[in-house]
Amino acid sequence: MHLEESVKMNKKKLINQINIYRSVLILLVICVFATILSPSFLSVTNLFNVFKQITVAGIVGCGMTFVILTGGIDLSVGSILGLSGVLASGVLASTGNTAVAVAVSLTVGIACGAVNGFFVSVCGIPPFISTLGMMTLLRGVILVYTKGSPIPIKSDAYKFFGKGSIAGIPVPVIILIIVFLLAHYILTQTSYGRSVYAVGGNREAARLSGIRVKTSEFLVYTLNGLMCGMAGLILTARLGSAQSTSGTGIEMDAIAAVILGGTSLSGGVGFVLPTVVGAMIMGIIDNILTLMNVNPHATNIVKGAVILIAVLVDKKVKDLSAKAE
């Protein structure tokens, strides 16, 4: 009897370890293949490009991790990102004040996230439906505001957030690192972080234990909106203009990064730090296809396949965990 229990415990530990480190293993395998397919992949310039490219998806993925941990989903992240960027750029063009433009980008993100949180937590609308509606609504607002034309950015101070560097390290990468460290601290060292896991693990049990479930959910979507506002600021600063199509499709990259990082789509299980590894995997796939001069449209085929495989792996790990118990 003791032997059987010991075997089960060891099996469960092994499955948990695989779940934690699977993103790192996938990253190492992809890096090996990338190096074989393109020797220029490991060049310092190219690696810096990869890190700069993943910052937007990484930051959005960070916020998405919180949402998915509660068992939710947010399809409106791309539209929130786009709206934050265009409104900040519009304010910058009319006032020339970089501080105000930055504040607008973050405030718009928080406000949109709060609206999502209200619909999901207070109104009880399923996250998929409410955020799908917000995605369409906000994209319409972007098109009406910009009239389909880009808004140029001339402020060097604003561009610093996307193109600047400190001690040779790109500013977007520094922001990404700070964001993930803070998110990791919130999830692992605070009572709010524990409530996020509790809500995703068992909503009713969390409520009965005294956790304010609706408040936790509302804050999760609001935080996600803040991440989108930050990502919108970085993207527009990097491109030097705000496009009406900014952020389109970023939700798929963010969700893929979260799943590849080991966070379960059903909620309650996962970590925020591996999400950046998931973002790196998606970024390297983009990068290697570019280096190989593959048709840009084929990238979506590869990304779609990666998401499907990641979901299948997530389900398999979950099934193995259930059997081990």
* 233 within 8 A of 157, measured Cβ to Cβ: no
In this model, does residue 295 exceed pLDDT 60? Answer: yes
48-77 pLDDT, tens digit per residue, is 888 888 899 999 999 999 999 999 999 999
Domains of the chain: 23-316 (1.10.3470.10)
Among 164-178, 278-292, 293-307, the range of highest mean pLDDT: 164-178
* CB-count burial class (<10 Å; 0-12, 13-18, 19+) for 163: middle
Enter the pTM of the model.
Answer: 0.88
Please state, in angstroms and rounded to a whole number, the distance separating the CA atoms of residues 264 and 305.
18
Reported confidence tier of residue 82, pLDDT bands at 50, 70, 90: very high
pLDDT of residue 10: 60
Answer yes or no: is pLDDT of 262 > 70: yes
Number of residues written out for the chain: 325
Residues 6+ apart with CB under 8 A from 36: none
252 φ, ψ to 5°?
-70, -40
Q: Are 55 and 176 in contact (CB under 8 A)?
A: yes
Residue 265 has pLDDT above 90, yes or no: no
| pLDDT single digits (tens) 14-55 | 655 666 667 777 788 888 888 887 777 778 788 888 888 889
pLDDT tops 70 at residue 13? no
127-160 per-position pLDDT tens digit: 999 999 999 999 999 999 998 889 999 889 999 9
Rounded mean pLDDT, 280-290: 84
3-state secondary structure the chain: CHHHHHHHHHHHHHHHHHHHHHHHHHHHHHHHHHHHHCHHHHCHHHHHHHHHHHHHHHHHHHHHHHHHHCCCCCCCHHHHHHHHHHHHHHHHHHHCCHHHHHHHHHHHHHHHHHHHHHHHHHCCCCHHHHHHHHHHHHHHHHHHHHCCCCEECCCHHHHHHHHCEECCEEHHHHHHHHHHHHHHHHHHHCHHHHHHHHHHHCHHHHHHCCCCHHHHHHHHHHHHHHHHHHHHHHHHHHHCEECCCCCCCHHHHHHHHHHHCCCCCCCCCCCCHHHHHHHHHHHHHHHHHHHCCCCCCHHHHHHHHHHHHHHHHHHHHHHHHHHHC
Q: How far is CA 63 from CA 71, 177, 223, 269, 315, in A?
A: 13, 14, 6, 15, 22
